[in-house]
Amino acid sequence: MFLKNCWYCAGWDYELSQGNNKFLARRLADEPVVLYRKRDGGVVAMEDRCPHRQAALSLGQKEGDSLRCMYHGMKFGPDGMCVEIPGQAKIPPTARVRTFPVVEKDNWIWVWMGDPAKADPNLICFAVGPGDPEWNIRTSKITVKANHRLEIANLMDLSHAHWIHRRTLGGTSAWVNEKVERTMTPRGVRNVVWFRSVPAPAFAQHLFPPDARFDLYIDFEVTLPCNFVIHFQVWTPGTATTGPSNGRMLLDSYSSQAVTPVDEDTCEYYFSWGSSKATDAPGLSDMLYEAVDDAFREDRVVLEAQHRNLKERPDGNLVNIVHDAGPEKMLRLLDRLLAEEAAEAAAPRARLRA
Amino acid sequence: MFLKNCWYCAGWDYELSQGNNKFLARRLADEPVVLYRKRDGGVVAMEDRCPHRQAALSLGQKEGDSLRCMYHGMKFGPDGMCVEIPGQAKIPPTARVRTFPVVEKDNWIWVWMGDPAKADPNLICFAVGPGDPEWNIRTSKITVKANHRLEIANLMDLSHAHWIHRRTLGGTSAWVNEKVERTMTPRGVRNVVWFRSVPAPAFAQHLFPPDARFDLYIDFEVTLPCNFVIHFQVWTPGTATTGPSNGRMLLDSYSSQAVTPVDEDTCEYYFSWGSSKATDAPGLSDMLYEAVDDAFREDRVVLEAQHRNLKERPDGNLVNIVHDAGPEKMLRLLDRLLAEEAAEAAAPRARLRA
Amino acid sequence: MFLKNCWYCAGWDYELSQGNNKFLARRLADEPVVLYRKRDGGVVAMEDRCPHRQAALSLGQKEGDSLRCMYHGMKFGPDGMCVEIPGQAKIPPTARVRTFPVVEKDNWIWVWMGDPAKADPNLICFAVGPGDPEWNIRTSKITVKANHRLEIANLMDLSHAHWIHRRTLGGTSAWVNEKVERTMTPRGVRNVVWFRSVPAPAFAQHLFPPDARFDLYIDFEVTLPCNFVIHFQVWTPGTATTGPSNGRMLLDSYSSQAVTPVDEDTCEYYFSWGSSKATDAPGLSDMLYEAVDDAFREDRVVLEAQHRNLKERPDGNLVNIVHDAGPEKMLRLLDRLLAEEAAEAAAPRARLRA
């Protein structure tokens, strides 16, 4: 089950060139979607299914801003309307393809899978993209064979960094013990925490003497459906015990992450990490990028095994622990939004019956 | 659902040597079949399942014209009757394997999966085989992960050549625009069309100046279950506007194709192409063969994606277009024959009840 | 359906080192099990599923004799009880993992998947392990994509050696024709037979002149769930026509085999073969090992094809032959034990209703 009235990431903008055959064939929330770029730079998202005999439109060709299905040659405008049926003058009004609202923002392509009338660009989560002139950001993606709810739970509880990521992002038990300040946002939770006088993250410890200590600022927002943006700073250790460090800032960085459900068993994980140009140094942003790339492969192993176990025993009793508060908050919000969508979908039928 | 009272292609004759372990293990219309060649050259087709404990007979060995199952050594004659149970004198009459009528024709091996009493060799479609002394024919096969009905629809509408095969068999919009003359045959449709003064097919355009034009004769017969034979000629462009070209024939060729359903999701596509010895030239028939080999891989990509889409939404509304007339005619004929078989299968039970 | 009150082989002892991350993640009778070795050498077997959110414990780390789940850091003692929840003082009593009785014997690790109260080490089948000082034994395992009942039937009827193993273990029709003496054991059948004046097994015939003959002693016991131990001797041909050969013993060997059902479609086949030190010679035990390794790959091809056929037609009529007596005896014993377990499982509920 997937939220439909929301923005799902369908790719990085550089994945969609103006090439004649350049289509992205994605599966978003269990529906096949084809994306392509128009001459003016705009992006079109359509159901990847020809209304004639369900051929995949992503195997077609571009003609101007239109897409021609290359099985029998039917041509569709960027609004999904059929504009040509070769060998036939009359075009039936049913010859149309469903289209989806698309927005490009922060170098990400976002698609709205629900009611187009509700497609509010303000619901797109904040991010810092690779094109931002103030930041040096590197990007990638990996595929995870697990339900996106497991990703939400993973992202909402950073204590796992100390365990899963002990060789990459971890390196201090503050991940487990520091209390995180949480604030609800319209579709998510913002989480802020300072780690004071702790070792560098594991991926960077080789750069410093063993007794080097730092203050770390971690400010991450998780937004439904499954987006995660972390503002991460490293400071020399200060003396402040509450509020911002009074040391000196060494690194200012952003990692933006968007997890898109492909189907009930698969996610695409789009992610980036890099530092501000002011605090970058040769190889530094590259190292940050490599650290999350490594870390998400660590998560992948764990989440895929967890997913298989949960599929086998979906009704298994679960023991709750203190770190579940964050994940549960977010999953309950997701469940509430899903219930609202289901109610809205049922409503017109109710009216017809009344 | 598969037609049973029909001939399915199980392979090329050269695939069945006299080797001791040379068995073809095929799946025909969702049933496992083992084929082997007897000493007199005849071919045996049996269910690939030992009546003892269902071991695969295709893992056995030949002894004379018999097949010995190499799990427990039971030996079966070419009629399927068990002739030896090692260590046991008495052979129960149930120790027999179902056999299927087989005919070799045009270097193809044809198997009848239905009632043996109805196995009429006249129902085997016409073809020109690689052994025909008048023709230079090359052969191959590919596996397509799609239902055979999609192949029938594909073969009955050659307009797709202009789109899917734009880099191989296509090269002129006559594929879309020329009206095809159709004649029903007992189990199929014959289709005839002349393209006048058109460019060479895409796979051969590099051999001629850009303005070279030709008359093309296309005479193809599609026969159920899923066979396709095309008589394809290239002529210098003539002045005739109806009937045969009055140019000079440059190429006379035949491509014979047999698509066998393996199961609901898979077909084996056997095919050939080559020219008459009278019109052949060094490398010419090889080029024709390569062209269809390339083209069927183009079809495969499209049909497999279409198959996945249709499986996901089998009841999706479809928009019909002018080019569906041919495919629909053939699929309706298939449905009629399937209904007749189902009625015959139900009849004995009806009588028992009455 | 699997017997639960029985010992399943989970591996060879040398597969479980003291390494920090050395866990065996096995599936035994369709349940995920993680195994690890304690500091005192003992082995722990637990459900491979954290009670928190079902993460795989086999992705964890060892701490002393405890296992720490490396998703959120919960730590479990070797008795399955949670001993630490990072960041939380109170440990709920439901935070425990199911453990299974384990016994190491003959270098095999045996796990009891049923009621721990019934875990009787005397039910572990006799075997000769690679650590036995009197024998030179080599070991391995292969995975077979077939139900373990097919392995039971295979092992209970050695006539198949003449057919499947004609190039390895076979070499004489005595495998088919010699009558085997059978004695029931508490959970299996012991089978004894002498082959008199027969050729060497196929894998060894190249070592002798073509007319060399031997007496072979074959004494094999099959024990449920699916264990097989064969005492195999080669003698110079004697004149005795009943009872032991009165020739001279050339080879005294043991092959011990344990087939563990992974799920309904898969088995792990653990096996060994080697000769007594008294009768070994350079390369001899290695050759025996290679012979069974080759032979079990021959079985695998046949059993996997048979499994696919049986899955497709589980209710197919089967013809019984003389060699089925052994397999049927063993499968009926298995069915009786399964029925008893089912009855015991139902009993408490019956009492509650009364």
Query: CA geometry: angle at B81 spanning B78 and B85, to 5°?
Result: 110
Model pLDDT, residue A347 = 79
Last residue within a domain, chosen from B81, B105, B122:
B122
A210 touches chain B (CB under 8 A): no
Q: Is C169 part of a structural domain of the chain?
A: yes
The residue in chain B having the minimum alpha-carbon distance to the alpha carbon of residue A75 is B163
Looking at the predicted structure, is the pLDDT value of residue B36 above 60? yes
Chain A positions in Cβ-Cβ contact with residue B301 (cut-off 8 Å): 59
Q: Is C164 part of a structural domain of the chain?
A: yes
Average pLDDT over residues B326-338: 95
CA distance C189 to C177: 19
A302 touches chain C (CB under 8 A): yes
Tell if the CB–CB gap between B87 and C153 is shorter than 8 Å. no
Q: Based on the structure, what is the number of domains in chain A?
A: 2
- The pTM score is 0.92
Residue A354's pLDDT band (boundaries 50, 70, 90)? very low
Whether B130 and B111 map to the same domain: the answer is: no
A87 touches chain B (CB under 8 A): yes
- Cβ neighbours around C323 below 10 Å, total: 24
| Mean residue pLDDT across chain A | 95
Q: How many residue contacts between B and C have a Cβ separation below 8 Å? A: 79
Whether A72 and A196 map to the same domain: the answer is: no
Note the pLDDT tens digit of each residue in A12-63: 999 999 999 999 999 999 999 999 999 999 999 999 999 999 999 999 999 9
Q: Is B344 part of a structural domain of the chain?
A: no
Whether C145 and C58 map to the same domain: the answer is: no
The residue in chain B having the minimum alpha-carbon distance to the alpha carbon of residue A70 is B163
Q: Can you list the positions of beta strands (E) in B199-284?
A: 214-223, 227-235, 249-263, 266-276
Whether C168 and C302 map to the same domain: the answer is: yes
Tell if the CB–CB gap between C70 and A316 is shorter than 8 Å. no
Q: For residue C201, give both structure tokens.
A: 């097994």
Residue A152's pLDDT band (boundaries 50, 70, 90)? very high
Whether B54 and B146 map to the same domain: the answer is: no
The domain of C98 spans 7-123
Whether B274 and B310 map to the same domain: the answer is: yes
Chain B positions in Cβ-Cβ contact with residue A56 (cut-off 8 Å): 302, 305-306, 309
Whether A118 and A159 map to the same domain: the answer is: no
Long-range contacts of C163-166 (CB under 8 A, 24+ apart): C163/B68, C163/B69, C163/B70, C163/B71, C163/B72, C163/B73, C164/B70, C164/B71, C164/C295, C164/C298, C164/C299, C164/C302, C165/C202, C165/C295, C165/C298, C165/C299, C166/B70, C166/C202
Q: Is B228 part of a structural domain of the chain?
A: yes
Average pLDDT over residues B177-182: 91
Model pLDDT, residue C348 = 67
For A52, the closest of B164, B313, B319 (CB atoms) is B319
Instruction: Identify the residue among A46, A47, A50, A54 best suited for mutation to test binding to B, counting B beta carbons within 10 A and taking the highest.
Output: A54
Looking at the predicted structure, is the pLDDT value of residue B348 above 90? no
Tell if the CB–CB gap between A321 and C88 is shorter than 8 Å. yes
Note the pLDDT tens digit of each residue in C8-62: 999 999 999 999 999 999 999 999 999 999 999 999 999 999 999 999 999 999 9
DSSP string computed for A58-126 = GGSEEETTEEE-TTT--EE-TTSBEEEBTTBS---TT-B--EE-EEEETTEEEEE-S-GGG--GGGSPP
Whether C78 and C23 map to the same domain: the answer is: yes
Q: Is A340 part of a structural domain of the chain?
A: no
Chain C positions in Cβ-Cβ contact with residue B94 (cut-off 8 Å): 317, 319
Residue C352's pLDDT band (boundaries 50, 70, 90)? low
How far does the CA of residue C180 sit from the closest CA of chain B (Å)? 12
Residue C264's pLDDT band (boundaries 50, 70, 90)? very high
Q: Kindly report the CATH number assigned to the domain that includes residue B164.
A: 3.90.380.10
Average pLDDT over residues C100-110: 97
Model pLDDT, residue B186 = 86
Model pLDDT, residue B307 = 98
Chain C positions in Cβ-Cβ contact with residue B85 (cut-off 8 Å): 321-322
Whether C90 and C156 map to the same domain: the answer is: no
How far does the CA of residue B320 sit from the closest CA of chain A (Å)? 6
Q: Is A348 part of a structural domain of the chain?
A: no
Instruction: Identify the residue among B302, B311, B319 best suited for mutation to test binding to A, counting A beta carbons within 10 A and taking the highest.
Output: B319
Chain B positions in Cβ-Cβ contact with residue C156 (cut-off 8 Å): none
Model pLDDT, residue C354 = 45
Note the pLDDT tens digit of each residue in A8-19: 999 999 999 999
Q: Is B240 part of a structural domain of the chain?
A: yes
Chain C positions in Cβ-Cβ contact with residue B56 (cut-off 8 Å): 302, 305-306, 309
Tell if the CB–CB gap between B48 and C323 is shorter than 8 Å. no
| Percentage with pLDDT > 90 across chain B | 94
Residue B286's pLDDT band (boundaries 50, 70, 90)? very high
Model pLDDT, residue C13 = 95
Q: Can you list the positions of beta strands (E) in chain B?
A: 7-12, 24-28, 31-37, 43-47, 61-63, 66-68, 75-76, 82-84, 99-100, 102-105, 108-112, 135-144, 181-185, 188-198, 214-223, 227-235, 249-263, 266-276
Note the pLDDT tens digit of each residue in C67-97: 999 999 999 999 999 999 999 999 999 999 9
Note the pLDDT tens digit of each residue in C295-342: 999 999 999 999 999 999 998 778 999 999 999 999 999 999 999 999
Beta bridge partner(s), residue B251: B234
Q: Is B2 part of a structural domain of the chain?
A: no
Model pLDDT, residue A164 = 97
Average pLDDT over residues B40-59: 97
Average pLDDT over residues B247-264: 97
Looking at the predicted structure, is the pLDDT value of residue A350 above 80? no
Whether C294 and C325 map to the same domain: the answer is: yes
Model pLDDT, residue B54 = 96
Note the pLDDT tens digit of each residue in A62-111: 999 999 999 999 999 999 999 999 999 999 999 999 999 999 999 999 99
Backbone angles phi, psi at C173, to 5 degrees: -75, -5
Instruction: Identify the residue among B163, B176, B307, B323 best suited for mutation to test binding to A, counting A beta carbons within 10 A and taking the highest.
Output: B163
Residue A274's pLDDT band (boundaries 50, 70, 90)? very high
C166 touches chain B (CB under 8 A): yes
Q: What is the ipTM of this complex?
A: 0.91
Whether C110 and C163 map to the same domain: the answer is: no
Average pLDDT over residues A219-229: 95
Q: Kindly report the CATH number assigned to the domain that includes residue C110.
A: 2.102.10.10
Residue B354's pLDDT band (boundaries 50, 70, 90)? very low
CA distance B237 to B194: 11
Model pLDDT, residue A317 = 73
Whether C190 and C269 map to the same domain: the answer is: yes
Looking at the predicted structure, is the pLDDT value of residue B210 above 50? yes
